[in-house]
Amino acid sequence: MEQTSVHAGRNNGIDLLRGFSILLVVLHHIGLRIPLKKGVLAGFVPKGVLSGLNYNGYEAVFIFFVISGFLIAGNVLRRDGALAQVDARAFYARRFSRIVPCLLLLVAVLSALHLLGVRDYVIHREGQSLPRAIVAALGFHLNWYEGMTGYLPGNWDVLWSLSIEEVFYLGFPLVCLLVRRNAVLVPLLVLLALSLPLTRAALEGNEIWQEKAYLPGMAAIATGVLGALLVARHPEVSVRTSRLLAGLGVLAMGWVMFDGVAIWSLLRNGYMLVLTGAALCLVLASQWRSGGRPLPGFGWLRSWGRLSYEIYLTHMFVVTPLIWAYKAAGSQVAWGFLWYLPALPLCWLLGALLERYVSTPAERWLRARMLPAPAATVVAAA
């Protein structure tokens, strides 16, 4: 999932939450094909826990949306002092340099695999074509394209969330400059954030579009923007408040993840507000205790968070061959969990290689040419 480069240093709590989210995405895409609840682990681990690990990839993307809105708005507030003073040119330059290099490389590789006829990479649904998929991916409407024509192959499909984020950020500076007053902007953001269950319910006739439509995703991003404005207004809170938020966030997140049937029967699409509210609580808690010690033993998960964009774009290059090997070995679902063991480090490794040799060098090169010299240096990735 997309992340942003910032000058303010690391936030271990946000890295941890982002790492948890990208891990859920990877586990989801493996679990759709090798479900843990059908294996030997079900004899030792409650099936609800195994299902929670396998089937919350969609919810994890909405956690990312909240984090992304918080980080992007927070960076604008730090750099420009207020959303109404956003430097639109610099904002777009940063977004371009962060997103486009990896996106272009991914689309080029997927196009080559399609043209070579590689199984599970060929676009074959009626009404779909490679040129149209390329336009959808680079034009940030792949989510709409899938909603109208059906799912694309897995490596293309992950770009649906990027389409939502980038359309939001294309309009975000313009809205800030036009509205100019927080007294007007904040109510608009609140309305958008609270619209999440309503917009999902209104789209129930099309399952793909309901999941991938612009407004639900933008509602989650707006929740993160509101969090950034809250932190800017109240940069410090008591330790008790921070811990209370963290506790509420963990409890609500656990409810969504591990008691999905109950929360759906009770709240229907309103469960998504519980999810985004939980994500906001955790983001705020991590921000208000950002000077505290990171949780020991979770450095590996924080590293997943720092590489979340790269892992998100590339993990299906690990998952797809893994499933080929799994099927060739006889598809023994009882021991399917063993296939997770090489998959997870390989996903991390591929993301790390992309970050080291493509995304960071390209981002630095582009920023050096698109931004004034003092703002072009990338000190740390958030």
Could you read off the pLDDT of 200-241 as tens digits, one per residue? 999 988 999 999 999 999 999 999 999 999 999 999 999 999
Q: DSSP secondary-structure letter at 5?
A: E
| SS3 of residue 381 by DSSP | strand
Domain limits of the chain?
5-381
* pTM of the predicted structure, to 2 decimals: 0.93
- Structure token digits, residue 296: 């020991």
pLDDT beyond 50 at 8: no
DSSP structural state of residue 359: I
The DSSP letter of residue 293 is P
**Which pLDDT belongs to residue 290?**
65
**Token pair in block for residue 107:** 């689309």
Q: Is pLDDT above 50 for 382?
A: no
Question: Predicted confidence band at 261 (pLDDT cuts at 50, 70, 90)?
Answer: confident
Residue 5 has φ and ψ, to the nearest 5°, of -90, 135
For residue 237, give Cα distances in angstroms to 32, 141, 249, 279: 42, 40, 16, 18
More confident residue, 381 or 363: 363
Reported confidence tier of residue 374, pLDDT bands at 50, 70, 90: low
